[in-house]
Amino acid sequence: METGVPVRSVKNAAPGAIEESVNAQRTAKWLVIASGKGGTTKTTTSLNLAALAAAAGLKVGILDTDEQATLTKWHRRRERQDDVPSLRLFSVPLVDLKRGVREVDNAEAAEGLDLVIVDTPPGLEQRERISELVRRADYVLVPTSQSTADLESALEFMAAISSLGVRAAFLLSRTNQRWGSYRLAKKMLNRAGTLCPVDVRQLRDIEATHDYGLGINEFNKAKGADDLEAVWEFIRKVMEV
């Protein structure tokens, strides 16, 4: 393996959105990472942005709403590591979303979370609950590869998000810049909405973050760290966290 050793605001819920906890006043920003299909790096993006945000000194909560619980398993491995910033995990399937939001709200009130990053299952099969979660978001990031199937799904998903009036951007991930499909993908996404100005390359080091419970920034000289650090700077700027 090539890797080494391992300004706050209050947002009122939109009509029909999830009920907030009675005693919790929202101050944390919510970043929802979602797309219309699986295999688009939602979890990989979630865990790496969480690690980068924590390294920047933010109090970060991560909400895993996917029944496969991949983010939760990563967090368990992280708890075995020394000298890494802690992350507050909430693991609640999307089918029980209201309970998950209540748990986050209660923790936010008690612990002063700055940022909540939400990892989601594929969105088209659970459109109603994903819509509720998107309404709750301050920002939505929609990862997609440069493949035709992923791009078509991402475009459809972004159209649904746009109809809800929520700020969002595409993230082009698992890229191979030598292929012609890379340039075509950038054209399509730029025409359809905001595209994160940096993409994330397909690199083994990035995938290895799952194996150790670490973020790419927590490895020594890992390939791809610059990619995800630049994505984090984009998110930090647009969300003002």
Distance CA 173, CA 60 (A): 23
Residue 40 located in a structural domain: yes
Residue 67 located in a structural domain: yes
Q: Range of 71's domain?
A: 29-239
Distance CA 192, CA 159 (A): 8
Residue 38 is predicted with a pLDDT of: 87
Residue 6 located in a structural domain: no
Residue with tokens 């419970």: 213
Q: What is the CATH number of the domain that holds 135?
A: 3.40.50.300
Residue 18 located in a structural domain: no
Residue 15 located in a structural domain: no
| Exposed / middle / buried, residue 22 (Cβ in 10 Å: 0-12, 13-18, 19+) | exposed
Residue 120 located in a structural domain: yes
pTM: 0.88
Distance CA 222, CA 218 (A): 9
* 3-state SS assignment for residue 142: strand
Tokens representing 240? 């003002």
Distance CA 171, CA 197 (A): 8
The predicted-structure confidence for 174-192, as pLDDT tens digits, reads as follows 999 999 999 999 999 999 9
Instruction: Name 159's Cβ contacts closer than 8 Å, sequence gap at least 6.
Output: 192
Distances (CA, A) of 188 to 163, 182, 208: 19, 10, 30
Tokens representing 227? 């990619």
Which of 59-63, 122-126, 132-136, 222-226 shows the lowest mean pLDDT across its residues? 122-126
Residue 235 located in a structural domain: yes
Residue 165 located in a structural domain: yes
* Number of compact structural domains in the chain: 1
Percent pLDDT > 70 in the chain is 88
Distance CA 189, CA 15 (A): 29
